[in-house]
Amino acid sequence: MKKRGQGYQLNWVFVVFAGVIILSFFIFFGVRYMGLKSHQENAEIANAINDLVHGLSSATQYNSIEMPWEFTLRRTSCDKFKINEDFEKSFGDKIVFWPDEIESKELLVWTKDFNKPFFVANLIYLIDPNKDYYIVGNTNIDVPFDNILQVPVYNGEGIIIYVQGDSIKFQDGEQVVNLGDEIVLAALFSENFYNYNCAFTKLMEKHEIVKRVYYQKTFELQGSCDYSLIKQILTRNVVVDTMETFSSNLDSANYDLWQQGCEVVF
């Protein structure tokens, strides 16, 4: 009787033990599968955003991307972002202005070309559709999205930048030089000076390279025309504060060449 009871107990211990093993196996499998699946989804979102940015980098236009799930795009460095704290991706050499964080199912993307005075690059803006953006000042920029408003005075909530003549002021008080509508929008969608400066530094580097390419081109454009003035302007060191002067001087020197019937540089 006692032996039979012991066997019965042993059976129960065995069944419970086997059950725990099988159950824990399924739980482990489920957890790992969920992790993998979410990693896969995050990779899909990050790649879709990156594809859109790459696709728009060679044209001026706007577009939006909608995902089946809400996602958080968080900036991790100057040109890298993470989707849902998981999949990290880089925009590479693309000049993208975007805030610290976008939490949405949808993402708006807009590109505008930057010319000073020659074409330098397409600036790419990543815009949160759930935020209201305010440009305070006397601007008149063509905007394709409803959440971007231009007002003379504003003291309410939202993402605000103040455009005062030659300067653009962020909400935190930092100021940058106003180089035109593209830069006003760049400051607006960056939301702060740090984010703005990340992409703006890249833009200035690109400007320098294109300027040097044109300088190289002037060596081939010799003959009966005098390219010494344009050459001299192209050797000048350009910083943010001298950009407008550089741009207008170079533009008029190029125009003069055209008026003289010479081959223009740009």
Partner 1 sequence: MKRGQLQIQESIIVIFIIIVLFLMGFILFYRFTVLDIQNQIDKHDTFEFRQLINVIPNMAELKCSELGVNDDCIDILKLQGYIRLGVADFEDKKIILQNLQTLEAWELYDDEPRRYDSVLRISSPVSLFYPLEEKHYYGVLIIEWYK
- Tell which positions 104-123 bind partner 1, by CB under 8 A: 115, 117-121
List of residues 6+ apart from 198 with CB closer than 8 A: 78, 79, 190
Q: Of 61-69, 96-104, 168-176, 248-256, which segment contacts partner 1 by CB under 8 A?
A: 248-256
**DSSP-derived secondary structure for 43-90:** HHHHHHHHHHHHHHTTS--EEEEEEEEEEEEEE-SSSEEEETTTEEEE
Rounded-to-integer distance, Cα 103 and Cα 84, Å:
9
Query: What does DSSP assign to residue 5?
Result: H
- Tell which positions 54-73 bind partner 1, by CB under 8 A: 54-55, 57-59
State the nearest-atom distance from the C-beta of 139 to partner 1, in Å: 22
251 binds partner 1 (CB under 8 A): yes
249 binds partner 1 (CB under 8 A): no
Q: Which is nearer to partner 1, 171 or 235 (CB)?
A: 235
Tokens matching residue 226: 């005098």
State the nearest-atom distance from the C-beta of 23 to partner 1, in Å: 12
> Mask of contacts with partner 1, 17-56, x by CB under 8 A?
-x--xx--x---x--xx--xx-xx--xx--x--xx--xx-
9 binds partner 1 (CB under 8 A): no
**DSSP-derived secondary structure for 90-152:** E-TT--EE--SEEEEEEEEEEEEEEESSSEEEEEEEEE-TTS-EEEESS-----SSTTEEEES
Q: Of 123-131, 141-149, 194-202, 203-211, which segment contacts partner 1 by CB under 8 A?
A: 203-211
State the nearest-atom distance from the C-beta of 207 to partner 1, in Å: 9
Rounded-to-integer distance, Cα 38 and Cα 86, Å:
9
Rounded-to-integer distance, Cα 188 and Cα 147, Å:
12
CB 115 within 8 A of CB 99: no
**Residues in touch with partner 1 (CB under 8 A):** 7, 10-11, 14, 18, 21-22, 25, 29, 32-33, 36-37, 39-40, 43-44, 47, 50-51, 54-55, 57-59, 93, 115, 117-121, 206, 209-210, 212-217, 219-221, 251, 254-255, 258, 263-264, 266
